[in-house]
Amino acid sequence: MKEETCSHTWEMVNVQSGYIVTENCFRCNKTATSFSAGEWPPMEEYREGEHFWNIMEVAQTIRFDLTCKACGKLVPLNELAGLMMCTGCDPKCPVDTLMKEMEKSRIWVFVAFGFFPVDERTQLSQEKIAILEEYFNQRRKSSSSTIRIVSSEKIDDISRCFAEMIRDVGMLSLTPPATE
Amino acid sequence: MKLKEIIEKLSLVTLTNVEDKEVSGVFISDMLSDVMSSAETGNIWLTVQTHKNVVSAANLIDIAAVIVTNGKEVPEGTVELANRFHVNILSSPLSSFQLASKLVEAGLK
Amino acid sequence: MQEDRNHSIEIAKIKEALQADIITGNSQTGQYVTGIYASDLMSDVLAYGKSGSILITGLNSVQAAISAYMAEFKGIVFIRSKIPDQDIRKFAEEKGLFILTTDTDMYETCVKIASIEGEVSVSTAAAALTKRAENVTTYSFSIDGQDFASAGMVSTQIKTILKSIGYNPLIIRRVAISTYEAEMNVVMHAKRAKVTLKASDQEIYIIIADEGKGIADIELAMQEGYSTATEEQRAMGFGAGMGLPNIRRNSDKMNIESKVNEGTTIETMFFVK
Ligand SMILES: [Zn+2]
Ligand SMILES: [Zn+2]
């Protein structure tokens, strides 16, 4: 089938488990996130240009690409750091407003994050976000609800957002987590 | 098979309001990234995880119900969020392994 | 948590029920496990796991082996074709843990183990689970013709993936060499290609399907030293031969199909054992 005329049936491919590493630079206080495949990532601090990165958190995650079963189009999602469901922590946030609006029609809003710092890493294009949304809606087609995925750019003030990306924290820890 | 039928058959405890859904099968994992990559819409998801993010992962795929095993206590915040997004959370005193036998006997693949 | 009754299951029976591969602890298959615990959360394994048990987990990390050892488990079943890496094997060997790997997921693994002691009848387990798909990890890549700057990228990516899954370095080396040869052929002779990698605990399967001028005489192309590289390409150090013999030498099975002016598809297979 020709890519141009194909209506695309997406499939998750190139699934790799690894770690999402969150670092902080003590010079400029910026936050950086990155994906590290396979092995536990190195814990030592290092310098990258102006920055001195220090590891703040390591969580398990996966990376993946999407491909169309019909035409073979491959959509690499190297820029996707993770997905987060809006939990409505900031009533002034446009995502929260959108969420409340959409909820009535059983549409749940998720936020797609690229890697930090936003101004120094290539961010996920609108086209790729739309494909990601299409993929999940195709996968949950037997459902009575749908999802909407928006870019993290839409979040008004990230410091007021307490929702978490879908990732696995503390899986390797041998001490049980404190309950809330 | 309908969720309410399974709840009755296995005497599962309901922690949220229950919205009846068609159940397509069973998925066991304690990792949200596994759910994101491999769970199917309509699956019952057995896990020992109880944090809020369980609701996000369940919602992304539209899981029929989350069954928290080992009788683990589920924080109030998780239950609240689940109710808002119509995510069914159930509880069982059995371990994931023990419950798996009961679910397969009930006819779930 | 409700106490589980006591189990007594021979390790060999578990291996058989799951059609699992034994990674470490070959000499322990005659021993018995007295409990089963399925979880990915290691703090829970320590808190609730009973000594003498077997751990079923998808957590492919040395932490899984450490937790199993600390909770005095006898061994681990890694699910969904997760092949433990060197660190895990080494630790398990040192501490006398047995390790099995299976391609089934956690639910199916639990159900099959439960059917050994008749907790679930074998026929119920089989009937309920027949529809479940076999677990193979699939990866896709694309290669652009004439893109010499990125030549070798796909074979490098494949190598990294296979390493992170934990295959034996020898098989990874064979896959890398033959994929590199095929990738160079695409860069030199074709417009573009799609590469598919399917990795399971049984075999590694690679398909490289290109759009291009195709090969008129496959037999000739399979001969050592045969090349259609241009002078320019040879000057860059590419194309001493078409590399097909090298692909055949390094793979366990190879199939090549080609249509002139349409393209060539090369399939290679590598057996894990
Ligand atoms: Zn398509
Ligand atoms: Zn800095």
- Which of C12-26, C185-199, C210-224, C248-262 comes out lowest in average pLDDT? C210-224
What is the total count of domains within chain B? 1
Give the closest of A15, A16, A174 to C42, CB-based.
A174
C151 and C244, same domain (yes or no): yes
* Residue at C132 is within a domain: no
pLDDT at C243 over 90: no
* Same-domain pairing of C170 and C58: no
Tell me which residue in C67, C85, C194 faces A72 most closely, judged by beta carbons.
Answer: C194
Tokens standing for residue C157: 């990516």
Of A116, A112, A114, the closest CA to residue A48 belongs to: A116
Structure tokens belonging to residue A67: 């491909």
In chain C, which residues have their Cβ closer than 8 Å to the Cβ of B101? Answer: 110-111, 114, 119-120
pLDDT band at residue C126 under the 50/70/90 scheme: confident
Q: Which residues of B44-57 are buried (b: 16+ CB within 10 A; e: fewer)?
A: bbbbbbbbbbbbbb
Question: d(Cα C242, Cα C225) in Å, to the nearest integer?
Answer: 7
Cα(C246)–Cα(C176) distance, rounded to whole angstroms? 11
Contact C43 A177 (CB under 8 A): yes
Best CA proximity match to C215, nearest among C223, C203, C207: C223
pLDDT reading at C239 higher than 60: no
* C119: in domain: no
Residues C150 and C265 placed together within one structural domain of the fold: yes
Q: Please name the helix (run of DSSP H) or strand (run of DSSP E) that holds residue C198, with its range, or none.
A: strand C190-199
Per the CB < 8 Å rule, is A173 touching C61? no
Q: In terms of CA atoms, which chain B residue is nearest residue A165?
A: B53
User: What are the structure tokens assigned to C121, written together?
Assistant: 């009848």
Q: Do A171 and C160 touch (CB under 8 A)?
A: no
Residue from the list B31, B70, B107 with its beta carbon closest to the beta carbon of C40:
B31
Which chains reach chain B with 3 or more Cβ–Cβ distances below 8 angstroms? A, C
Is C259 a member of any domain?
yes
Q: What residues pack around ion ligand 1 (CB closer than 5 A)?
A: A 6, 8, 68, 70-71
**SS3 state of residue B100:** helix
Q: Are residues C149 and C87 in the same domain?
A: no
Residues C141 and C267 reside in one and the same domain? yes
Which of B53-57, B64-68, C103-107 is predicted least confidently?
C103-107
Partners of C36 in the β-ladder:
C54
Q: Is residue C130 in a domain?
A: no
Predicted local confidence at residue C88, as pLDDT: 93
**Candidates C110, C130, C132, C137, partner chain B, best to mutate (most B CBs within 10 A):** C110
Residues C71 and C183 occupy one common structural domain:
no
* pLDDT < 70 regions, chain A: 1, 39, 176-180
Q: Contact A98/A55 with Cβ under 8 angstroms?
A: no
pLDDT at residue C232 tops 80: no
Q: Is the pLDDT of residue C174 over 70?
A: yes
Whether C104 and C145 share a structural domain:
no
State the complex-level ipTM.
Answer: 0.95
Residue in chain C nearest A38 by alpha carbon = C164
Q: Which domain holds residue B34?
A: 3-105
The total of structural domains in chain C comes to: 2
The pLDDT of residue C130 is 61
Q: Are C110 and B70 inside 8 Å of each other by CB?
A: no
Contact at CB, C44 and A65, closer than 8 angstroms: no
Specify the pLDDT at position A165. Answer: 92
From the CA of A27, the nearest ligand is 2
Q: Do B101 and C105 touch (CB under 8 A)?
A: no
State chain C's mean pLDDT as an integer: 87
At residue A4, the pLDDT reads 80
Give the span between the Cα atoms of C159 and C164, in whole angstroms. Answer: 9
What's the distance, CA A23 to chain centroid? 16
Tokens 């681990």: give the residue: C76
B5's enclosing H/E stretch is helix B3-9
Q: Cα(C93)–Cα(C87) distance, rounded to whole angstroms? A: 10
The predicted model gives C170-180 an average pLDDT of 92
Task: Kindly report the backbone phi and psi dihedral angles of residue C106, in degrees, each rounded to the nearest multiple of 5, phi listed first.
Answer: -65, -40
Q: Which domain holds residue C254?
A: 137-271
Are the CB atoms for C215 and C205 separated by under 8 Å?
no
CB proximity C8 to A under 8 Å: no
The Cα B2–Cα B4 span in angstroms is 6
- Report the CATH number at residue C144: 3.30.565.10
- Co-location of C166 and C62 in the same domain: no
Give the pLDDT of residue C116. 93
Q: Which of B41, B75, B85 comes nearest A179 by C-beta? A: B75
Same domain as C100, residue C11: yes
- Examine the domain organization and report whether C189 and C251 are in the same domain: yes
Give the pLDDT of residue B104: 93
Q: What CATH number did the domain enclosing B31 receive?
A: 3.40.1390.20
Q: Which CATH number covers residue C80?
A: 3.40.1390.20
